[in-house]
Amino acid sequence: MRLHNLKPRPGAKHRTKRLGQGESSGHGKTSGRGGKGQTARSGSSIRIGFEGGQMPLIRRIPKRGFNNARFATRYLSVNVGDLNQFDNGARVDETALRAAGLANGRGDGVKILGDGELTKKLTVSAHAFSASARAKIEAKGGACEVVGPKAAAPAKAAAPAKPAAPAKA
């Protein structure tokens, strides 16, 4: 194999479309540009969302108020009944839940919910507990430890302050 032997794979190269070569070519007369008008002219381009002067859809739709959804806290939920797979007296935290496959994906923490019955005494460490989950864990002699929220990523370091200019006399 030498450089002069290289060629593209079969089917990788296509003939260029030859426009305006007569009616029988399939691309004659208007050369695939349709009829007359703005888009038939050379150099024409219409921006995205432009509707020919009609008020565009994005400006017709009402936009009111503030949406807090992007700032919401999203917990990974784990039911009390699922905690029975841990050993009696074990300490259950987020890493143990992830290792067991009970809390998967991205979230701002783990919340223990009260669905199901707990049969073991556990020390559960999570970011939030429902009232029924807390009652079921403590009824079996276990403990609920609330962990603080996950630390946010550090903000960019602020630019150093410029020294004050000397006052003119």
**Residue-range domain boundaries for the chain:** 73-146
CA angle 151–153–155, rounded 5-degree value: 125
Q: Quick one: fold of 73-146?
A: Ribosomal Protein L15; Chain: K; domain 2 (3.100.10)
Residues 8-18 pLDDT 10s = 999 999 999 99
Residues 61-73 pLDDT 10s = 998 888 888 899 9
* Rounded CA Rg of the chain: 33
* 137 Cβ contact list (under 8 Å, min separation 6): 80, 112, 118, 122, 124, 129, 143, 144
CA-wise closest residue to 105 among 97, 115, 93 = 97
Confidence of residue 7 (pLDDT cuts 50, 70, 90): very high
Q: Report whether pLDDT(162) > 70.
A: no
